[in-house]
A and B are shown apart, each in its own frame.
Chain A
């Protein structure tokens, strides 16, 4: 008995010796404040990070007396670091990395609602009011959105060599989701006929287990895990504030039926639901993008693509939250961090170094004013460019073989004049009361979504079964709770 008491005492002494947490970088007198920034791990950690940081500090120290130290963490490690109270100043957060809504509601991020307007008005002015709404939780701003294509636009992507040059088919600037069917058929027929341009088009629409990307693009997703959202088609109708289960609503299920039809017709690869990756080529692809994205896609995939928009521009909390940076609630340098964010979002020179690296070493500007990376830049400095701060501020990158418009961001933002948005911007669904059901619903959904969004499973038989299991897992409870919170939110506006 005595021995256990001894063990407990020793353990408690250790714990007591832990002391309090340190809130952020060091800060003493006139020395520059060092801010710690946790950024997403891009897979290959930038080897030249120290070199780039030195260059960055050359600008930030004279301007605002701040040095930056970037650490690259995986999603898992970021959550661990935050949970355990690790000291940091800024962190990347989004819907899909270090989930913004969850972490903000839990209290990890600093409330910058007032400070961002009074301390850094230049930062606040870089983006329209509605975008800042998307960074709000319970009426308070908890992160700085990255200025990029904040309204979601989805495009069909076509292999130019096959469809335009060879088959001479016309690809309009915009089309409907379902209008690709004739193209799929044409490609498959060309393959059957042995047409060399269609050699890889046995399955014109290749998919992998995550299914067709952006299948729920017709909805403003309130909570993806619980499959809840508001259809954009309901805006302006009496139902515009009704939260639905996407897998029950025709705006999604119609697409599932189409996918299944295409799967049966042989347009989608048979093993879609089991493969992780199908390589880079597919005669028809899709993706969330923007005007000028065809250059990026063509360069990245290695074949020229022509794009046609089928969805958007839709503004949603989710699209705004595609990439943001938050400041730690425990940081001792909240003001300095805000000022640094302002610098990143207003100073193009700084922004370009942050994105591309040291000029002359990692990249150069060409005659058209586009950025071209050197071999060293490609090998040794490759962070996520869309995560660091205003994407549109940085110099546009050139892409081989494609005509890139250096002014593309102006065109994109012009196009947002017609964007559609629900009233849910700024609403954050707090799942505390239904978290057990959300976890259970996730597991059930996981069983079926892959099969459905690849067209493998027949929606007619699968959807009823899936709904039955979802209901048993408590999805109606979640829906009711979400609706209740949302109605309150709308009433309070």
Chain B
């Protein structure tokens, strides 16, 4: 039997406080959600009838629109690429970002802290197109810096853009380079919010720097690390299009190691106007992501209930 809690004054005030945001979600997220139906229909516009009426009257085709994702023999390759890259990004990204955040917060010179942080932020602002130019200037067989260096050291030139083996490393490196500065900010804010008295007590007990980090800093950061981890896992089937399409310059031989689901969808649908296919791809990624998040959340709940997403 459920206890009937009265909707208290408190609850009312809180609801009012959140109302503007709720309206935002309704207008910009929930109303457009009818678009999910597009994934299951073969859309045909009816002249003069508008989009929604046409959509309702269009033919229902079940899961036919999802098939194009699996039509190539190496469909599994793009799934593999997407998941593997994301796993590496999540693990390496989290570990390195947290480590760097802790380290930078320990620097003796405040100025050094500020300067290096600002510098590490810059890559975030360069668009992937610009980044691809830079990588190209580095790796181009004709005029790239790396090629010239190799020449100087007497080694054979490598046609980077035609050799797939190196690219997983290149892409991981470029991804980390671009995202670490930005990622550090959240952890730095977390570190800044830690109550000083905790450290004071620890010092009085004779704790070393390393022990302070291990027993205070990291545990205090744990909630946010875990939340970010769970959220990242939920996006494991999505990828940053710019990284996987622009940086390798869509070079043919590299496709098997650089093609993710999003790149495939883009290439397959370019020039066509098949909104059913596009919607199907998006929905599939969403559903798979949901499963992953629920799984990750469930695992975290088993370990430490407080840190879970819900």
Chain A residues engaging chain B, CB cutoff 8 angstroms? 7, 10-11, 14-15, 18-21, 23, 79, 82-85, 96, 99, 102-103, 106-108, 110, 209, 225, 269-271, 273-274, 276, 329-330, 432, 435-440, 442-444, 446-451, 456-457, 469, 472-474
Contact = CB atoms under 8 A, between A and B. Distances in A.
B250 A83 contact: no
Interface string B24-60: 0011001101100000001111111111111000000
B273 interface: yes
Given A274-B140, A439-B268, A442-B268, A469 B73 contact: yes
Contact of A271 (B45, B49, B71, B142): B142
B142 A329 contact: no
A274 B251 contact: yes
B71 A474 contact: yes
20 contacts: A7-B30, A10-B30, A23-B48, A83-B275, A85-B45, A225-B271, A273-B251, A435-B68, A435-B274, A436-B67, A436-B71, A438-B272, A440-B68, A440-B72, A443-B264, A449-B252, A450-B252, A451-B253, A469-B73, A472-B73
A102 B49 contact: no
B277 interface: yes
Nearest to B136: A274
Ranked nearest first, the 8 interchain pairs of A and B with the lowest CB-CB distance are A21-B50, A439-B268, A329-B47, A440-B71, A85-B51, A436-B68, A472-B73, A274-B161
A438 B272 CA distance: 10
B214 interface: no
B117 interface: no
Contact of A273 (B30, B53, B161, B271): B161
Given A21-B49, A21-B50, A271 B140 contact: yes
A79 B264 CA distance: 19
B78 to A, nearest CB: 9
Contacts of B68: 435-436, 439-440
Given A102-B272, A443-B264, A447-B255, 18 more contacts: A15-B52, A21-B50, A21-B51, A83-B51, A85-B45, A85-B50, A96-B271, A99-B271, A106-B44, A107-B46, A270-B141, A273-B161, A273-B251, A274-B161, A276-B249, A329-B47, A450-B251, A472-B72
Contacts of A15: 31, 34, 52
A330 B47 contact: yes
Given A274-B140, A440-B72, A99 B49 contact: no
Contact of B31 (A11, A435, A469): A11
A82 B67 CA distance: 25
Contacts of B270: 442
Contacts of A473: 71-73
B72 A14 contact: no
Contact of A79 (B42, B45, B72, B273): B273
Contacts of A83: 43, 45, 51, 273, 275
Contacts of B277: 435, 439
Contacts of A23: 48
A70 B161 CA distance: 42
A473 B75 CA distance: 10
B122 interface: no
Which of A209, A269, A274, A442 counts the most B-chain CB atoms under 10 A from its CB?
Answer: A274
A101 to B, nearest CB: 10
Interface in B129-170: 136, 140-142, 161-162
Contacts of A439: 68, 71, 268-269, 272, 274, 277
A107 B57 CA distance: 14
Given A102-B273, A274-B161, A473-B72, A446 B252 contact: yes
B181 to A, nearest CB: 28
Contacts of A330: 45, 47-49
A108 B49 CA distance: 12
A330 to B, nearest CB: 5
A471 to B, nearest CB: 10
A455 B141 CA distance: 16
B45 A446 contact: no
Given A84-B51, A209-B249, A439-B272, A271 B44 contact: no
Which of B43, B162, B252 counts the most A-chain CB atoms under 10 A from its CB?
Answer: B252
Given A469-B73, A474-B71, A18 B52 contact: yes
Contacts of B52: 15, 18
B273 A99 contact: yes
Contacts of B72: 440, 443-444, 469, 472-473
Nearest to B129: A276
A438 B26 CA distance: 37
